[in-house]
Amino acid sequence: MSRNYTIGVIKGDGIGPEIVDEAIKVLDAVAVVEDITFDYKEMLMGGIAIDETGVPLPDETVQGVKQCDAVLFGAIGGPKWDTVERHLRPESGLLGLRKEMGTFANLRPATVYDELVNASTLKPEVLKGVDIMVVRELTGGIYFGQPREQYADRAFNTMIYTREEVLRIAKVAFDIAMKRDKRVCSVDKANVLEVSQFWRDIVEEVAADYPEVALSHMYVDNAAMQLIREPKQFDVILTGNIFGDILSDAASMLSGSIGLLPSASTGAGVGLFEPIHGSAPDIAGQGIANPIATIASAAMMLRYALDEQSAADRIDNAIKLALSEGYRTGDISAYGAEEICATEEMGSIIANYASRE
């Protein structure tokens, strides 16, 4: 019997609609061969929601996502909405959605495709074989801490973590490490911040339940440097919201382009799957964006939310095949000889490979 899933689709702004359309194309292609049916439920969030409803996160979306098996999201934001009040910005919509969905664990794999070791600005020998999982806490920390305020003469935010918040994200990281190389590096700024010392103490506590996992701690400034210097030293990086945001952008360049890296945000209920990059307003509408990060996010959705391992493998293998056959979008084509594809072509090639019998 065919399996049926309801997928929430939030295309968002900028390149969001273009890249999500390609991910849907690929999902539809694997659905046929895997005997799955997807019902897509489109919802608004971000700048487009501001334009159409006056708020970045309409109630309809908050209610709608709860009725889905998983949610696929593109990107939000753009210069058009940069001057609106903070709580009405597109970014507030995304943060509100993550909070509403309770997706506290953001998994951001930074792997280097062998085919692309020459596409990075770093040396191939530094990169070959890099396979890092950044586990970013997503619904706490300075992004959400109260109080927060901006006045004419001063402004402040609060970095706060509760015991419960650290415990649950640390467990996610250790559980993942058990299925990988059994190494967790917890990244903080415990030499300066109380909240980081607190984080570190709780991570140590959790580690006691995972005797097979080797735990290390690193200050975030050093971690930024080590990621570039010797990325292969890392297996799982466990860190808070803002440090994870910054380190995952840095880690993305190991792979050659931020246009390649997917993410999965999971927690208590429905999961949210999104590329780690933004809405790239400078190239929106030109049909040149790299859809791979979003297509790979759809694969993570199949794997983590729907337990459709074979369909997920199909997509991951199809991405590798497209790359090894030399297909490149502009962002990963700096080295000349390859075939440069438009967004839609890349999506079609991957869809085609993913649906081969």
Interface residue list for ligand IPM (CB under 6 A) = 77, 91, 94-95, 245, 276, 278
Angle made by CA atoms 81, 301, 25, in degrees to the nearest 5: 75
Token look-up 């998983």 returns: 70
3-state secondary structure of 298: helix
The answer to whether 38 touches 26, Cβ cutoff 8 Å, is no
Partners of 110 in the β-ladder: 132
- In the set 249, 304, 313, 320, the catalytic residue is 249
Rounded distance between C-alpha atoms, residue 141 and residue 95, angstroms: 12
The answer to whether 354 touches 29, Cβ cutoff 8 Å, is yes
Shortest Å distance, C-beta 278 to ligand IPM: 6
In what helix (H) or strand (E) does residue 20 lie, and over which residues does it extend? helix 16-34
Shortest Å distance, C-beta 108 to ligand IPM: 8
Q: Out of 245, 274, 308, 316, point to the residue binding Mn ion (CB under 5 A).
A: 245
Closer by beta carbon to ligand IPM, 74 or else 278: 278
Rounded distance between C-alpha atoms, residue 304 and residue 225, angstroms: 31
- In the set 221, 282, 307, 335, the catalytic residue is 221
Residue 64 contact partner, candidates ligand IPM, Mn ion, none, CB within 5 to 8 A by sort of partner: none
Shortest Å distance, C-beta 151 to ligand IPM: 23
Length of the chain: 357
Token look-up 């290390």 returns: 216
The answer to whether 49 touches 57, Cβ cutoff 8 Å, is yes
Closer by beta carbon to Mn ion, 215 or else 247: 247
Site residues (CB under 5 A) for Mn ion, limited to 116-175 = none
Closer by beta carbon to Mn ion, 25 or else 98: 98
Closer by beta carbon to Mn ion, 103 or else 333: 103
Shortest Å distance, C-beta 137 to Mn ion: 14
Based on the residue annotation, tell me whether 59 is a catalytic residue of this protein: no
Based on the residue annotation, tell me whether 128 is a catalytic residue of this protein: no
Based on the residue annotation, tell me whether 307 is a catalytic residue of this protein: no
Residue 94 contact partner, candidates ligand IPM, Mn ion, none, CB within 5 to 8 A by sort of partner: ligand IPM
- Name which of 333, 353, 188 is nearest 260 in CA terms: 333
Based on the residue annotation, tell me whether 249 is a catalytic residue of this protein: yes
Closer by beta carbon to ligand IPM, 95 or else 349: 95
Based on the residue annotation, tell me whether 161 is a catalytic residue of this protein: no
Which residues form the catalytic set? Answer: 143, 189, 221, 245, 249
